[in-house]
Chain A
Amino acid sequence: MEDKDKKIESLHLKLIPYFEKYGILLLLVLMILVMHILQPDVFLSWRNVTNVFKQISWQSMLALGVFMVIVTAGIDLSVGSIMMLSLMILAVVAKAGAPWFIVVLTPLIAGFLCGLFNGLGITLLRMPHPFIMTLGTLYIFRGAGNLISGGTPISGFTDEVRYLGHGRIDLQWLGLEKSQYLPVSLVLIAIVYIIFWIFLNKSKTGKWIYAIGGNPNAARASGINVNKILVIVYSLCGFLSGIGALILAGRTDSGYPNAGLQSELDAIAACIIGGASFFGGRGTVLGVFAGVMIMGILRNGLNLMDVSSFWQQVLIGSIIVLAVYIDVLRRDIGTRK
């Protein structure tokens, strides 16, 4: 009898980590199924699927950056503004006639520097919470973006600059039709997510990011330079927002003042839906990807069904609450009582 109990208990112990890691994927698969049943002809068509990936391309970069910050129990409200400022700098540099490889680098450097500014502000100025520093820079960076561009859109980039956001990988050599191409942005998402998965799970710095979120005092007592790691995390978050800007430049062929408005909230929502905890130390890269996909598919599916964007807002809000409630339930099963 006792043996049997033990077996069940050990089975639980074995299953819970998998459920914690992959539970959110079930929700994603379920959503895909429902959308497919509702829109059998369109939803899973090549064209629509690539469309979804193109739509989530830049958001997925912002979400990944914000995710790392949330793992440290911080928050970055400025990612939308970092992206807009990086985009505007790109547009100004492109209009000034700089060669494409310079233009492509500018948003990455600008994004990184904005993130560095956040990180240094939070640690050196000893801000009581990252919320305050990044709330400040949410305004500062967007204001700066409007100052350098005069608050007007700047359009027209070369094909090289637009490649990551707009490029297509032809698959006709596989016997597919011309319309069945692979968006370059999808490949970029895959590469960036894999790199950051390795970074967060297999490197010392990545492990320390989780440790800081779990217990900053433990990290400090272990000789980890917590402030240095935080500066790295916010800088990388800015860098990813810069990649987002480069993708957006390709997609829209334009730098415009409203770029990324409120996208910081979408990024936070994707992380939360994907199972990241505001208390830090919890969440996976795969979960963030699922969170981004869930939001993208929801928007896409509702558009296909011609549901008004007002209802989309209501539904996305509901999904956030529902996803966190599922998380609460699954934690109840998982933790020792």
Chain B
Amino acid sequence: MSTTINPLLEAKGITKYFGTITALENVNLKVHAGECLGVVGDNGAGKSTLMKVLSGLYKPSSGALFFQGKEEILESPRDSQNLGLEMVYQDLALAGNLPIGENIFLGREPTKNLGFLKLLDFNKIKELTNAHLDKLKINVKSADQKVEELSGGQRQAVAIARSTAFNAKVVIMDEPTAALAIKEVGKVLDLINSLKKTGVGVIVISHRMDDIFTVCDRVMALFQGTNFAEAKLSNTSRDEVIGWIMGKK
């Protein structure tokens, strides 16, 4: 059914060189609305590079990106954000010295006009933050709390909240559970499942088979910068996917 309409996001023939190193070679990827795609691969397989290409942080050496069937050229992360494509980085990309709310709206702060001055609207930031955190059922003491005072799981939740605060259509998550305590993993996976239900396309990069097999619908493996294997989750097994990561079919 979903294959008849355009995928939300499609990458065709992505190649990326860093000097003489080939990080990605002719890689294809697609994700549909409400679908979760798992991307697996060993260290250096090109997962992070691919995600940075998708988010506009890197420009591909060749290849094209299609968003809802239309080709898009991303000059910066701002471009991908404007399309509704959001990224949750492994290092979370949060500024610890700023409060939760200001992190969620960093770069896209609501403002109010005071005469000729355009000033930040802190009340609105707080209001929107509280409403959004409530919607995602994320508990923190206060939206004014600095991010550096939060636990790893709370930070991950803030990072996900940040990615979904602007009607995201595709959310890309790099190792969303890697730095978390076990009891916090479940909450983050629940959050991913509820995102899917709202029609968001999710791409999860993970080493953890538990993550992949809990939230994903499809899984693809990168090996040495190329597409190695891909399957619906119902048609594969953990052992097979682990084999792909090591380059065995």
Is B107 a contact partner of A208 (Cβ separation < 8 A)? yes
**Residues of chain B whose beta carbon lies under 8 Å from any beta carbon of chain A:** 55, 57, 76-78, 81, 87, 89, 91-98, 102-103, 106-109, 111, 117-120, 141, 145, 148-149
Is B91 a contact partner of A217 (Cβ separation < 8 A)? yes
Specify which chain A residues have a CB less than 8 angstroms from the CB of B107 in the assembled complex: 208, 219, 222-224
Is B148 a contact partner of A224 (Cβ separation < 8 A)? no
Interface string of A214-231 (1 = CB under 8 A from B): 110111111111000000
Interface: A154 (CB within 8 A): no
- 8 Å CB contact of A215 from B93, B111, B117: B93
Is B119 a contact partner of A202 (Cβ separation < 8 A)? yes
Is B77 a contact partner of A281 (Cβ separation < 8 A)? no
Specify which chain A residues have a CB less than 8 angstroms from the CB of B96 in the assembled complex: 214-215, 281
Q: Can you name the residue of chain A whose Cβ is closest to the Cβ of B82?
A: A223
Is B106 a contact partner of A211 (Cβ separation < 8 A)? yes
**Residues of chain A whose beta carbon lies under 8 Å from any beta carbon of chain B:** 13, 198, 202-204, 207-208, 210-211, 213-215, 217-225, 281-282, 335-336
Which residue, of A210, A211, A221, A222, has the highest number of chain B Cβ atoms within 10 A? Answer: A221
Specify which chain B residues have a CB less than 8 angstroms from the CB of A336 in the assembled complex: 148-149
Specify which chain A residues have a CB less than 8 angstroms from the CB of B120 in the assembled complex: 202-204, 207
Is A214 a contact partner of B98 (Cβ separation < 8 A)? yes
How far in angstroms is the closest Cβ of chain B from A165?
Answer: 29
- The CA-CA distance from A214 to B146 in the complex, in Å, is 11
Specify which chain A residues have a CB less than 8 angstroms from the CB of B106 in the assembled complex: 207-208, 211, 218-219, 222, 224
- The CA-CA distance from A198 to B107 in the complex, in Å, is 18
* A–B pairs, 29, beta carbons within 8 Å: A13-B141, A198-B117, A202-B119, A202-B120, A203-B119, A204-B109, A204-B120, A207-B98, A207-B109, A207-B120, A210-B95, A211-B98, A214-B97, A217-B89, A218-B93, A218-B95, A219-B95, A220-B57, A221-B57, A221-B93, A222-B77, A222-B93, A222-B106, A222-B107, A223-B76, A224-B107, A281-B95, A281-B98, A335-B149
Specify which chain B residues have a CB less than 8 angstroms from the CB of A281 in the assembled complex: 95-98
- The CA-CA distance from A202 to B125 in the complex, in Å, is 12
- The CA-CA distance from A204 to B108 in the complex, in Å, is 9
Specify which chain A residues have a CB less than 8 angstroms from the CB of B149 in the assembled complex: 335-336
Specify which chain B residues have a CB less than 8 angstroms from the CB of A215 in the assembled complex: 93-96
Given A214-B95, A222-B106, 13 more A-B residue pairs with CB atoms under 8 Å apart are A202-B119, A203-B118, A203-B119, A204-B118, A208-B106, A211-B106, A214-B96, A218-B92, A218-B93, A221-B57, A221-B87, A222-B77, A282-B97
- The CA-CA distance from A203 to B122 in the complex, in Å, is 11
Is B87 a contact partner of A218 (Cβ separation < 8 A)? no
Specify which chain B residues have a CB less than 8 angstroms from the CB of A222 in the assembled complex: 77, 93, 106-108
How far in angstroms is the closest Cβ of chain A from B193?
Answer: 25
How far in angstroms is the closest Cβ of chain B from A2?
Answer: 16
Specify which chain A residues have a CB less than 8 angstroms from the CB of B103 in the assembled complex: 218
Q: Can you name the residue of chain A whose Cβ is closest to the Cβ of B91?
A: A217
Specify which chain A residues have a CB less than 8 angstroms from the CB of B108 in the assembled complex: 222-223
How far in angstroms is the closest Cβ of chain B from A74?
Answer: 15
Which residue, of A198, A217, A223, has the highest number of chain B Cβ atoms within 10 A? Answer: A223
